[in-house]
Every structure is written in structure tokens, then in C-alpha cells.
Amino acid sequence: MRRKEMTRRELLQGSAALGCMAAVPFSAAGASSYRLGPGQSASGGQSGGKSIAGPSPLTPPSSGTIPVAFPISDGAVVIDFCGPYEVFQAATGLHGKPAFKLYTVADKIAPIKCSGEMIVVPNYTFENAPTPKVIVIPAQNGASDAMIRWIREATKTTDVTMSVCTGAFVLAQTGLLSGKSATTYHYAYADLAMQYPDIQVKRGHRFVEEGKIATAGGLTSGMDLALRVIERYYGREKAMETADTLEYQGKGWMDSSGAANAMYAKAPTTGLVCVICGMPVDAQTALNSTYKGHTYYFCNQGHKDTFDAAPEKAIHMATSE
């Protein structure tokens, strides 16, 4: 438990650093109630006479694979990109052949230290990477100017550009989330809302989609969004087949705003927590500030600075649902 808590704390510190540097969600009642196939209108899809609203289905290529890029830097959270990576890797297309071509991309071809000390050597640099149709942005400690420019430019021709967890902060830096709805890791809702007030942060959503832009909640939520992308390309049966291949029992990809992440919509009400993110803190060691006679605690310096700059706004954002 201690190691897990520190990993989350480090992840949030990374998201705070990112902020300083610089929807129409799909819903379905169940697995058998709706099948979205290639070329089928999302607004006109029917199952028992019921229409399902959501982003338009995507058209897969008649031959070949769909290129999926994973831009990464130091501190990239392994499950954020390896989870979706394995989901896309397991998917087959219309003719039973691999549906996606996957690759990592970074500033340079050099080892990148990811979470848990995993070392990854990227396949390409931002200068020579193939043009992607899908981009997956994981949580990571920092995003270079080159990464931000590449994501922004590549998105002009993608079908889907998606973030996972606090990868939403990287996506926000590109400006592509401006004026849109989005979600992120549940400990980062208030952070995202305060750093990017033009983004409507959706609490308690497994993922949020707005056209070609999509954001997933924390960690395993990225796998659900990847399954959802497969569904948009190849239909629900293909997505279910992929989930079965992976022995994946999660159903969050079928209902982005349903019960899967609902528990995270409410701010913590018990225990001593960081007022910005809700992460548990120790009163003996945590940073703190006093405002209107009340002491507020923080899990990192970035969150204390955020609070000190606008206490009333921070309290409102941290406690709103």
C-alpha cells in the first residue's frame, strides 16, 4: 500500500509540474443492447428501436493497419500506455489480421525511465515518426515543446487523439481541450479545473469523448477507452472479442458515464487529505496554509502554491461535484 500511494503522489507531482510549464459521452445499457459497426450512423444505430447518441463511427482501412502512436517521456506511467497498447495489439480487423500498428515516439531514441523503473527505448522520434491515426498520451513527468507541437500537428489528421490519466494535462497544453469536456485521474480533477478553467472537468466518468478528442480517467480507464476506439472502428462484437481474448472483465468501455467510476465523483469527506487533490496526508509532515482560521494541508508544493494563489477558488473546486 505504501508503494502504491507514493506512485500516485509522484504522478500528481508530475501533473502539477506540467501545469506550471507552459462531450458527448457514449453510454449503453449492456453488451447485447447495441452494436455499432463500420459505416453505421451513431445517431441512428438501433437495438430494439432505441437510438444511441455518441461520436460517429470510424472507418477502418480496406487493407493494412491503423497506426497508433504513444508519445512518451520520463516518468510515463506504464499501465497508461501499456494497457491500451496491449488492447490494440490484441485486436483483429475485418479479415482476422492485426488491426493496429503500434509504436512509441519521443524526443530522441534513448532509454526512457518509466514508472516502476521500467526502461523503454522508443521506436521513433517526433521528427521521423509515421503519421498516426490514433494517438495515446499517458501520464508522464514532462512534455517537451517538441511533443506538444507534434501532438497538435498530428491531430489534424488523426481519427482519435486520447489521453489517459493525467496525460490530460499534456493534451491540455496543446490547446486541443480548450472549450471541451474532459476527465482525468480522480485525484487530479481540481488541479485540471484550476489550471485550465476553459475545460469542463467531468468527475466520475470512465472516459469522455468529444469528436476526435477523448480523455480517460486514471490508469485502467485507458484500456476501456481503447476498447471503445476498437468499437468505433469495428463494432461492438469485435471489441467484445478483444476483451474476451484479454480475459478482461471490465465493462466500463460500454458505459463511459455509468457506475464504473461514479465513486470518484464525490470529494473525500473523511480523513486528512490534500485540499487540492484529496490524497491522504500526514499532519505531522504535510505542507500547510492557514486561511480564515482554518488549516489546509497539501501533498506537494505545487498544490500549496495553487491554493495560496486563489484559496476561495481552490476550496470551491476541490469540494464541487
| In the predicted structure, residue 8 carries a pLDDT above the cut 70 | no
253 secondary structure, DSSP code: G
The pLDDT of residue 23? 29
The pLDDT of residue 223? 97
Question: What does residue 177 show for φ and ψ, rounded to 5 degrees?
Answer: -95, -5
CA distances from 63 to 27, 97, 132 (A): 30, 10, 16
In a domain, 296, yes or no: yes
pTM score of the predicted model: 0.83
Between CA 7 and CA 275 the distance in angstroms is: 19
Whether residue 259 is found in the same domain as residue 277: no
Whether residue 255 is found in the same domain as residue 290: no
In a domain, 151, yes or no: yes
**Per DSSP, which regions of 107-230 are E strands?**
112-113, 119-120, 124-125, 134-137, 160-164, 181-182, 200-201, 207-210, 213-216
Q: Of 220, 245, 264, which marks where a domain is finished?
A: 264
The pLDDT of residue 148? 98
In a domain, 52, yes or no: no
| In the predicted structure, residue 26 carries a pLDDT above the cut 90 | no
In a domain, 144, yes or no: yes
Lowest mean pLDDT across 53-57, 71-75, 288-292: 53-57
**Residue 203 sits in which domain range?**
2-22+59-264
| In the predicted structure, residue 10 carries a pLDDT above the cut 70 | no
pLDDT in tens, 242-259: 999 999 999 999 886 666
pLDDT in tens, 260-276: 788 888 876 677 999 88
In a domain, 157, yes or no: yes
In a domain, 276, yes or no: yes
The pLDDT of residue 11? 56
pLDDT in tens, 170-201: 999 999 999 999 999 999 999 999 999 999 99
Whether residue 122 is found in the same domain as residue 221: yes
Whether residue 117 is found in the same domain as residue 217: yes
pLDDT in tens, 195-231: 999 999 999 999 999 999 999 999 999 999 999 999 9
The pLDDT of residue 316? 84
Whether residue 218 is found in the same domain as residue 320: no
Whether residue 271 is found in the same domain as residue 313: yes
Whether residue 317 is found in the same domain as residue 169: no
Contact 43, 82 (CB under 8 A): no
| In the predicted structure, residue 30 carries a pLDDT above the cut 80 | no
List the CATH number of the domain containing 217. 3.40.50.880
Whether residue 90 is found in the same domain as residue 170: yes
Whether residue 311 is found in the same domain as residue 181: no
pLDDT in tens, 44-55: 332 332 333 467
In a domain, 195, yes or no: yes
The pLDDT of residue 101? 98
List the CATH number of the domain containing 278. 2.30.170
Q: State the total domains in the chain.
A: 2
Contact 246, 195 (CB under 8 A): no
Mean pLDDT of all residues in the chain? 84
> What percent of the chain is modeled with pLDDT above 70?
81
In a domain, 63, yes or no: yes
Please count the residues of the chain: 321
Between CA 312 and CA 103 the distance in angstroms is: 44
| In the predicted structure, residue 306 carries a pLDDT above the cut 60 | yes
> What percent of the chain is modeled with pLDDT above 90?
69
SS3 78: helix
Lowest mean pLDDT across 18-27, 42-51, 117-126, 170-179: 42-51
Whether residue 170 is found in the same domain as residue 231: yes
Whether residue 212 is found in the same domain as residue 174: yes
The pLDDT of residue 262? 85
Between CA 180 and CA 172 the distance in angstroms is: 10
Whether residue 259 is found in the same domain as residue 274: no
